[in-house]
Amino acid sequence: MIFHRPRRNRQNEVIRSMVKETFLLPEHFIAPLFVIEGKNQIIPIKSMPGHSRLSIDELIKEAKELYSLGVKCVALFPAIDDKLKTPDAREAYNREGLNFRAIRAIKESVPGMLVMADVALDPYSSEGHDGLVDPKTGEILNDPTLDILAKQAVCEAHAGADIIGPSDMMDGRVGHIRRALDESSFQNTLIMSYTAKYASAYYGPFREALDSAPKKGDKKTYQMDPANSTEALREAELDIEEGADILMVKPGLPYLDIIYRLKEMSPIPVAAYNVSGEYAMVKAAAQNGWIDNDKVILETLTSFRRAGADIILTYFAKEAARLLNR
Ligand code: PBG
C-alpha cells in the first residue's frame, strides 16, 4: 500500500492551480533599457537579440508599450559618447546629459511609469571603472568616489527618478547617497541597492551595449567573489543600516541561493537582476531551436520568485508580460 501519493495534487489543472505556491505578474518586472543620442535611432545589440539602443523618442514608445502590458518600471542605461568619457567621469552629473534628459522624457510622456536610475561611473569613465582610478597605482578609490556618486544620484532625483540604483559597490555609498538625497529634499526617492553584486562574466553583453568594459584590469576589488555567500549577508546588513529600501542580487540565475539567503534575513524587499549574459544564453539556444523560448522564459522568471525575489529586473520583461497577458 502507498498512502502518500503526491501525484494526487497534480492530477488536473484545477487542483494544480489551487496548490500553486508561486505567482508571476508583469507588475513584478523592471525593464532595463539602453539609451543613445539622436532621433529615430534603434541600434540593435548583437549579443542581445530583441534589444537595441534607443534614442529618446524611441525610448518613449517602448516605455508606453511596456506600461500598457503592465510593466510599470524601467531602468535606464545611457550609452555615452566616447568623447564625453573622462578620468573624473564628470559627465555623470552634467544635468543636460543624456541620462537626465531620458529620465525627464519618460516622466513627462509616460504618466505612472516609475524610473530607476543607475549610479556608477563606468558609462562616463574613460577607464571603464565604477569608481575613480588612481592614475599611479590603478587602485579604485572608494571615498573620493562617494561624492561623485551622491551628486549623480541627486541630479537623477532632480530629473524625476523614482528609484536610485547604486551599482558601483563602493563601501558606504548607500548612506552617503541617502544623506545627499535627504539634504536636497528627496526624502521620498527610493534606493534599491545592488547589495550582492558579483564580479561576473555574465555582464559581457551589457558592456558591449554601452561600450563600458574596463580599459585595464577587472572589477574584483569592488564586486564580490562568486565563491562567497556569507559575505552577502554583511553587505545586506550594511545596506539596510545605511537606509536602503530594497536589496538586490546580481546576477540572478547562478545566484538563486544568495536571493534565498537574503530573503530569509531581510526585513526589506529583495530584487534579482536577471542580467544580459543570462538573456543572451536563452536567446542563443532558442534561436538554434534547442529550447522552447517562451517556456524557458517563464520557468526562469518563476524560479526567481520561488527563490524569494519580490522584484525581477529582466530583459525578458516585455516578452514575459505578453505571455502572461495571454
Ligand atoms: C555597471 C553595471 C553593469 C551592469 C549593470 N550596471 C556592468 C558591470 O558592472 O560591469 C550589468 C547588467 C547586465 O549585465 O545586464 N555599473
Give me the CATH number covering residue 37: 3.20.20.70
- 137, three cell numbers: 597605482
Distance 219 CA to ligand 1 centre (A): 11
Assigned domain for 12 exists: no
Question: Mapping DSSP to helix (H, G, I), strand (E, B) and coil, where does residue 184 land?
Answer: coil
Give the distance (Å) from ligand 1 centre to CA of residue 8.
45
The atom of ligand 1 lying closest to the CA of 203 is: 14
pLDDT of 60 reads 98
In the predicted model, residues of the chain with pLDDT beneath 70 are none
pTM of whole model > 0.95? yes
CA of 250 to the centre of ligand 1 (A): 9
Please report, to the nearest 10 degrees, the dihedral formed by the alpha carbons of residues 246, 305, 316, 191 taken in order.
0
pLDDT score at 277 = 98
pLDDT one-digit tens code per residue, 299-325: 999 999 999 999 999 999 999 999 999
The pairing of strands 140-141 and 73-78 is: unpaired
If one residue of 53, 173, 275, 314 were mutated to test the ligand 1 pocket, choosing by the most ligand atoms within 8 A of its CB, it would be 275
Q: How many whole angstroms separate alpha carbon 223 and alpha carbon 273?
A: 15
Atom index in ligand 1 nearest the CA of residue 279 equals: 15
Domain count, the chain: 1
Residue minimizing CA distance to atom 14 of ligand 1: 203
Q: Is 60 contained in some domain?
A: yes
pLDDT of the residue at 66: 98
Residue 190: enclosing H or E segment and its boundaries?
strand 190-197
- Asked if residue 42 is part of any domain, the answer here is yes
Instruction: Report CA(292)–ligand 1 centroid distance (Å).
Output: 27
Residue 11 included in any domain:
no
Give the contacts of 299 (CB within 8 A, at least 6 positions apart): none
Q: Which atom of ligand 1 is nearest to the CA of 275?
A: 15
CA of 187 to the centre of ligand 1 (A): 26
* From 167, 194, 278, mutation site for ligand 1 pocket: most ligand atoms within 8 A of C-beta: 167
Has residue 15 been placed in a domain? no
C-alpha cell at 188: 521620498
DSSP helix/strand/coil, 154: helix
**Which residue's alpha carbon is at the smallest distance from atom 7 of ligand 1?**
203
Write out the catalytic residue numbers: 197, 250
Ligand 1 atom at shortest distance from the alpha carbon of 167: 16
- Relative to the CA of 202, which ligand 1 atom is closest? 14
pLDDT of residue 4: 97
Distances in Å between the Cα of 168 and the Cα atoms of 56, 66, 234, 245 are 25, 27, 17, 17
Task: Indicate whether 18 belongs to any domain.
Answer: no
239 within some domain: yes
Would residue 77 count as lying in a domain?
A: yes
Residue 297 lies in domain:
23-325
**Ligand 1: lining residues by beta carbon, under 6 Å:** 118, 120, 122, 130, 167-168, 203, 206-207, 275-276
Instruction: Compute the CA torsion angle 225, 118, 283, 305 (nearest 10 deg).
Output: 70
Q: What pLDDT does 211 receive? A: 87
What is the CA(302)–ligand 1 centre distance, in A? Answer: 23
